[in-house]
Structure 1
Amino acid sequence: MRPFRIAIAAVALLASSAAGAHAVLKSSDPAAGATLAAPPAQVALTFNEALEPAFSSVTVLDAAGKSAVAGKARVDAAQPAIVRLETPALRSGAYTVKWAVAGRDGHRRTGSFTFTVQ
């Protein structure tokens, strides 16, 4: 019976460590909730681990919920924990950044935050 308990404990330990291995947003530029005097040249999101470029995206929506940026986000080749989206010509207003990324474990995570340009 003891080997069975050890096996169950090992499986539980592995499952809990794998669940904690997902990509987590550490910071963003602009920061969540920020009010900017000038529009940003890009949105940059920094995660706790390297991202899989094929499964990582960022969109910027205006106050009406329409896409405000035509370009595509790219994972930084030199710093693969950072995904960047160029944001040329954002006008004054409120914006929502929506992101979806996958880390090396393949699990997809999503999130969003807002910022305002004066």
Structure 2
Amino acid sequence: MKALHTLAILAAAGAIFAAPYAAAHAVLKESSPAANSTVAAPKEISLLFNEKVEPAFSSAKLVDAVGKEVATGKGQVENDRLTLAVPELAPGAYSVQWVGVGPDGHRRKGQFQFTVK
């Protein structure tokens, strides 16, 4: 019985100490333009993460409806926000492909679409 009690204490301690590391991945909280929205041509794309992201390893790119990458400047990172200046966009569907790397070094990636009216 004592061994079971000790095992339970060790498991609880492991869960407490591991929890901050499991939750420490950079996750996209919101974007502008918002995912699946229809908007006037934006001047920039803004991505807000749940934590600070590493500038050297975090990026975004814009792709048009036929899969061609739109020429943009390099994404700028300030704390938990990554912004990407974009040229004048023609009406149509676009996809933003992003990579966010938090302080823990784990790489998260994703994408979302929006439409320019």
TM-based fold match above 0.5: yes
* Aligned residue runs from structure 1 range 1-118, under 5 A: 1=3, 2-36=5-39, 38-76=40-78, 80-118=79-117
Q: Which runs of 5+ in 2 are unaligned?
A: none
Matched residue SS, 1:18: helix
Counting matched residue pairs gives: 114
The separation in 2 between residues aligned to 1:70 and 1:86, in whole angstroms, is: 6
Matched residue SS, 1:53: coil
The normalised TM-score by structure 1 is 0.88
Matched residue SS, 1:54: coil
Matched residue SS, 2:56: helix
The normalised TM-score by structure 2 is 0.88
C-alpha RMSD over aligned residues:
1.4
Q: Percent identity?
A: 48
State the 1:3 CA deviation.
4.2
**Higher Rg of the two aligned structures:** 2
State the 1:8 CA deviation.
3.2
Whether the 8 Å CA contact 2:72–2:84 is kept in 1: the answer is no
State the 1:44 CA deviation.
0.3
The separation in 1 between residues aligned to 2:47 and 2:71, in whole angstroms, is: 16
Q: Which runs of 5+ in 1 are unaligned?
A: none
Structure 1 letter corresponding to 2:100: V
